[in-house]
Amino acid sequence: MDDAVLETDPPKDRWNIVYLILVLHGIGILMPWNMFINAKSYFVDYKLGKDYLMETLYYASAFMSYSTIGSQLPNFIFNWLNIFCPMGGKLTTRIVWSILIEVVCFVFTVVLVMINTAQSPALFFWSTIGCIVLLNMANGIYNNSVFGMAAKLPSKYIGAVVLGTNLSGTFTSIANIASISITPDARTAAIYYFTTALFILLACFDTYFALPLNRFYKYHEHVYQRKIESQEIKKNDGNEKIPYLQIFKQASPQLFNVFFIFFVTLSVFPAVHSDIKVSDSNFIVGPSYYINVLCFLTFNFTALIGTFLSTYFSWPNAKWLYIPVTLRVVLIPLFLVCNYQPLGVTRIMPVLIKNDYIFWMLGAILGLSSGYYSSVAMMYTPSCVEPKYSGIAGMFGAAMLITGICCGILFGMTLPFIVKNVSW
């Protein structure tokens, strides 16, 4: 379509096609992370469990820590590198190849499900961790590229990506519960479960190529390029360098918000959250589904609701957002005084919250506040800088998101030590 026509007749996002495509890519961004953490029972209780291996090994207690580090450290490195040292090739090349690598990794995971690994738990453990690392190296490029692409569009489209990331958690939680319900066999359930990831990633691959054909997307891409040209920002001739430090300083209030939201969330979820045991044997949710429902499904579903609410209103404004974001830190000690029983740890800290419904409510608050405030902070971030730098600011936001996740995970690894050694 001719550029002049696009300028004189600004198109609308008919049927919200572009919005829905970015939601889908948001689902794809967190698919690797969500698929592996939601499958905790498959890895820890089945493949690395005592009944399968006929002995108790270190791998079961270490799996969640190693898998979370393996998931987020590559993502962290690639997100920051992609800002200052952009990967060679076009955006299309980066997104397409990253999705294809993720597809191959999930195929490998399904193959490992089918193979009897009881005689070689170490090989299974390290092969899985290696697969997770490779998967998230590709995902780091994919994640950053999608947020950079969304930052060229109106701010609600960044919200679409964040909505997708939260929807990804709900989707994988439901898929996990459904696979367990459909078949009691852990091996078959895992095959069904991981195969769903392949379909989602292939859908992301297909829909990405539809974006350049869409009039709305093409219009905003054209507007963004014109803004760059009008400000004489041309990477090739080197006349003006991108002021990364200035962009970071201008966006720093919202970058802190993004960081701290995910730091608090990942300090608790999933490591602490998934190790909280049922207090009342007559509780409405049975032991088989307790963690899947009260931890994974509750967090992911309420985070989805929080993100959805952010599309209708944004409160407080950018200046005061740090207040509720900072106050969320109180959730960390509240979860520690629930019936938190980490594997292989003898707890001496008193359990003060013995009511499962209160624990359930805390999980809902954690998810709702995480989904809502993270979406609001990510939407505020590009607006903190000049329009020509909005794409860079969006990439900084994505990098700080991953930084908060990594720091939260590392801090969360100290919490078993706290409940083991702190009492009053």
Q: pLDDT tens digit string along 6-29?
A: 566 678 888 889 999 999 999 998
Q: How many CA atoms lie within 13 A of 148 on its CB side?
A: 21
Give the chain's residues under pLDDT 70. Answer: 1-9, 86-89, 228-240
The model carries a pTM of 0.80
How far is the C-alpha of 178 from the C-alpha of 30, rounded, in Å? 19
Sign of torsion over alpha carbons 299, 147, 252, 159: negative
pLDDT, position 359: 97
Residue 217 sits at the vertex; the CA angle it makes with 213 and 218, to the nearest 5 degrees, is 65
Q: Where are the domains of the chain?
A: 14-421
pLDDT, position 287: 84
Q: How many CA atoms lie within 13 A of 142 on its CB side?
A: 32
pLDDT, position 347: 93
Q: One-letter amino acid identity for 209?
A: F
CATH of domain 14-421: 1.20.1250.20
Structural tokens at position 139: 């995902």
- Burial class of residue 402 in the structure, from the number of CB atoms within 10 Å of its CB (0-12 exposed, 13-18 middle, 19+ buried): buried
